[in-house]
Structures are given as C-alpha cells and as structure tokens.
Structure 1
Amino acid sequence: MIAPGFASVEAQLWIWIMAMIRPGAALMVAPVFGATSIPLQVRIILSAMIGIAAANSVDINLPDSTLISYSGFVFILGEVICGAAIGFALQIGYSAAFVAGEVISNTMGLGFASMSDPQSGASSPVIGSFLSIIAVLLLLAMDGHLMLIAIIVQSYEALPPGNALVSSRVIFNLVEFGGTLFSMGLIIALPVGAALIIVQLVMAMLARSAPQLNLFSVGIPVAVLAGIILLAMAAPVLADGMMRAMELGLEQSEVMAGG
C-alpha cells in the first residue's frame, strides 16, 4: 500500500517524463548539445532539468488512455515535432559555417582534404571543421545555448504539452528558412572566396604566359598560402557573418516556439 503522502508520486513522475520529450528532441538536433562527443546521459539530465522547470509554469494534461494508444502517440509526436523544429532552426543557422567552409576549401584546392567533424562525427573539409569549431565558440560566447533553453521553456506557454500543434504556416517558414543556409554560407565565404578566385585567375594567366611552368606544383601551394593569409585577414568578417547566421537561427527558433 502506498503511503498517503506518496499517492501522487507516480502521476508526477509521468508528467515530468512527458515534459522531458520536447527539450530532449530539441537538444538532439541543436548544435553543441547534439554533438556526438556529448554523452547521452548529459542530454537526459539537461532534458530533465529543462522539462521539470517548464512543467511548473503550465498544466500538463496527460492522455486519458494509456500512452500506448492513439492519443498517447499524438501527444508524444507533437512534443517531438515541436522540440525538433526549435532545435533544427538553430542548426540551420549554425550549418552556414559548413557551407562557407566547403566553398573556401574547394577554392583553395583543399576539397580533397577532409577530417572528422567534432560536432557530427562525419567527414567534412578541413576548413569546414575549422569554421564549425569557431562557430561553436561564437555560439557559446553570445550565450546562444542559454537563449535556446529560454526559447524551449517559453514554448510551453504558447504550445502546452498535449496541444503542441505547429501550424502549417510555421512549418513552411522553417522550410523557407532553409534557403538561408546557402545564402548565408556564401555571404560568409564571399571575402575569402572572391580573393582566391582572383589568385586562381592570376595563376592561370601565368600558366598561359609561361607554359613550362608546372601549374600543379606552383599553383596549389600559392592558393593554400593565400587562403591561410586571407582567412587570418578576414577573421573578423567571417565571425560577424557566422554570428548573424546563428542570430537568424535563434530568431527562427523563437518563431517555431510561438506556434
């Protein structure tokens, strides 16, 4: 027999577990939190902390039937979609650094050089991995991780659990926002990429005027050296572009949290 003081413990535990679904889905797809280097136990603890804190601000009505039912499935699916949309919007802004790194790597002649990305664990160009590390540091410096947590908590007021129905208009805005990934990536890579194209044109004219010059043995080292120098010179501009892309991602996350 359960003591009278503990009669509602099981119901409260189920409420907390259901409140963990949305932040858990958001942290799984968001940058920094969703990195392969972050242990699963850490994400579970963070999801519990955010979910329990957010559950105190709204009333969570669990499905009348069991969770293994249609109403329970709809409840869980709505929470997963809402949380994943919030985290994915920020991920789009963050991934602009990868697009910029891909463009710069190909222009420098380093498209063949790849390394394991610490965020996703997949293979990516060396410049893309370098810019992704900078993007992580910038995101933490601008308190983007704290802003994301605040957006998740605020979403419980606009989209309470059990009624987390994201409108089709908001989903369309998220899909349309995906185009920002490529536009912002090209804007970030534009200063270095445009200068490297000029370097490639100069090397092409030298190879045309001096056919005996081995373009592969001279052009690739020159392009790599010019790229490194240009990256150092354009670092403030690249940082501003990446921060702007992530700010747009946070703004879109806030739109998704509003339903």
Structure 2
Amino acid sequence: MLGFGLSIEPQLWALIFVMVRIGAAFVAAPVFGAVTVPVMVRVTLSGAIGVLVLGTHSVVPPAQVFGFATFLAVASEALVGLAMGFVLQIAFAAPMLASEIIGISMGIGFANAIDPQNGRSSPALGQFFSIMLTLLFLSVNGHLVLVEMIVKSYDVLPVGGAWLSAAQLKNIAFFGGYTFTAGLLLALPVGFLLLCLNLVVGMLSRSAPALNLFAVGLPASLAVGVVALAMAFPAMGDFMLVIVREGLAAVESLVF
C-alpha cells in the first residue's frame, strides 16, 4: 500500500520515479527537447533508459506515492535533470548570439524564420548556425554521451540525495557567461571584416557625401558578409565542436 488506499507494483513505481530525472533532462536538453520530437518518443526513451538505470543501480523509491517526502524527492530528481539539460542548452545559445552580431552587421538582422528546434521565430542565420551545431553534436555522439552521463549521475547523486549544492548552482550561473564569450569568438572573424568595411564606408560617406550610404554600404556589407562566412566557416565549425565539448564538460562537472 502506497498511501490513500492505492497500490502499485514496486517495479513500476521505481521505473516511474527514475523516469523523472531522465524526462526532465530530455525536456531541457537540445535535440531531445525540440518541439519536433513527439512526447511519446520522449516518454519511450525515458522508459528505456529508466530500465537501464534499474538494471545497473539499486534504486529504492519512496515508500508512499502521496507523501511530503515523495514530493521533495521528485522535486530533487526533476531539478537535477533540468540542470543537466539547461547547462547544455546554455552552450547551444552561443551560435544564436553570434548570428545576431553578424546579421546586424550584414544588414539581414530582419530576416527571420521559424526555428524547428524551439518553434519560435529566430534569425535565418541563427537557424543555420543552430542546425549546423546540432549536426555536429550528433556527429560526435553528444546525445549518447548525454545519456551516459544521465545514467552515471545516479552514482554521484543517488535517489534521495540528489539535491544540488550551492556551489553547483553557482557554477551553472557562471557558465551562462560562456554563452557571450563563445558567441563573440564565433562571430569574431566575420564581424571584424564587417567592422572594417563599415569604417571604410563611413570614411567614403564623409569624403563623398553624394554617395548614398544605403545604396553602397548595404550591398557591400551583404556581399562581404557572405564571402567572409564561406571563407571562415571551416574555422567556425571547429569552434562549434569546442562549444559542444565545453557544454558536455560542464554537464559532467555538474554530476561528477
């Protein structure tokens, strides 16, 4: 009996309890948390990984379903899962910041499209960066590494003692600064060229006021930006791999 006259199979209750942390991580994490991923797929994956956790760890869920201790345990499990997914989501926000910097300098900041990852309107260049980062994340098996860290998190943060410390929460907050650093570094090659172009166009407009700034500067910024993106994208792709590794390392430091 698990409270209020309710009874449930102990194995099923343990599986449902384990799925809280896994499901919360999938809701907050990139790729798994995309709106294009059906809820049934997330629940199925959470259940499959939950069976793996039960097979490799000794999980003892709370004795009662409806109890204050159970609510606290569920909240702690959800907090750990959301923190793991949120830290990785912070790293994935860096390309969006870089796209804002480059797009405004190129004059295409107004070009928006629906992002399939979150279902919201985002800059077209940012959507391109986001898709490339997602493909790189999958190419280096980042999704499998994330699943592995979720499973191994039960060794360091077992059920019943999964509350995050103040130092861990501070590390999550400080890791938010990495988004701005990585975004600026990602946009630096193209942004520097566009800055130099804007300085040249500014000097031309001062020396020859008859030149229309919008008629000359905007097409030049767009052309130089496209060429610079084509030339700098191999280096930007390498840095995107660094962003993926830093995000996974931040998740690892959170639970290990």
| Shift in Å, 1:9 | 7.7
> Which residue of structure 2 aligns with residue 139 of structure 1?
137
> Which residue of structure 2 aligns with residue 200 of structure 1?
198
Contact 1:30 1:91 in 2 (8 A): yes
Q: Do structure 1's residue 58 and structure 2's residue 71 form an aligned pair?
A: no
Q: State the Cα deviation string for residues 37-74 of structure 1 (Å, max 9, x = none).
A: 1111111111111111012222222222x322211111
SS of equivalent to 2:56: coil
1:1-259 correspondence to structure 2 within 5 Å: 10-64=9-63, 66-258=64-256
Aligned residue pairs: how many? 250
Residue 96 of structure 1 aligns to which amino acid in structure 2? A
SS of equivalent to 2:122: strand
Contact 1:82 1:256 in 2 (8 A): no
SS of equivalent to 1:56: helix
Structure 2 Cα separation of the partners of residues 90 and 197 of structure 1? 31
| Shift in Å, 1:142 | 1.1
TM-score by length of 1: 0.93
Structure 1 Cα separation of the partners of residues 116 and 216 of structure 2? 32
Residue 51 of structure 2 aligns to which amino acid in structure 1? I
Q: State the Cα deviation string for residues 16-57 of structure 1 (Å, max 9, x = none).
A: 111111111111111111111111111111111111101222
Segments of structure 1 that go 5 or more residues without pairing to the other structure are 1-7
Runs of 4+ in 1 over 3 A off after TM superposition: none
The percent identity for this pair of structures is 44
Residue 171 of structure 2 aligns to which amino acid in structure 1? N
Contact 1:94 1:242 in 2 (8 A): no
Structure 1 Cα separation of the partners of residues 35 and 197 of structure 2? 38
Segments of structure 2 that go 5 or more residues without pairing to the other structure are 1-6
SS of equivalent to 1:229: helix
SS of equivalent to 1:234: helix
SS of equivalent to 2:15: helix
